Structure 1
Amino acid sequence: MSSQHRPETTAYVRIIQQSWQRGQIEGEVTAANYQWRFQWHFRHGRLLVQPSLGRALIYEPLGRFLELSDYQLEPGGDYEFTLRSQL
């Protein structure tokens, strides 16, 4: 299957709060008709996502995005990444 025919969904991330002292970033992520709040504890590599509805769809891709981008993210910033699936 070529990459042109793969289903994709854009996930939109908004950073709400960041604390370097606590090693934590909080935000919201929206993809298709889903919306979640998350806490990324980057010193421990721990991600919390709520609510549980649809969490399995976003948990791993959001975690990869945050691991790659956490030091570039700023409160009030809007970011996006592509999911390789249709939600």
Structure 2
Amino acid sequence: TATAFHSVTHICRDVNYGWLLRYLHANGASMFFICLFLHVGRGIYYGSYTFTETWNVGIILLFAVMATAFMGYVLPWGQMSFWGAAV
């Protein structure tokens, strides 16, 4: 389990502009979720939930994206990842 953490630290410390790549990836993921929640909020505001099939597929996709993001958060298995998974 320590291999993923060492891989991330290697990219941040030893690869040219690896730290930039990691922070762009992290901030891009945060921006993706902001856009995703704005999209869901817009759907609620305009009453798009009345189209039940489309709304249900969207909610399933939302949970799938949240599960993928959680797995990406836990993957490096550092201190924050460990306690994020423990809680």
TM-score range, shorter chain: under 0.3
TM-score normalised by the chain length of structure 2: 0.26
Query: Which structure is larger by alpha-carbon Rg, 1 or 2?
Result: 2
Higher helix share: 2
**What's the TM-score once normalised by structure 1's chain length?**
0.26
Name the structure where strand makes up a greater proportion of residues: 1
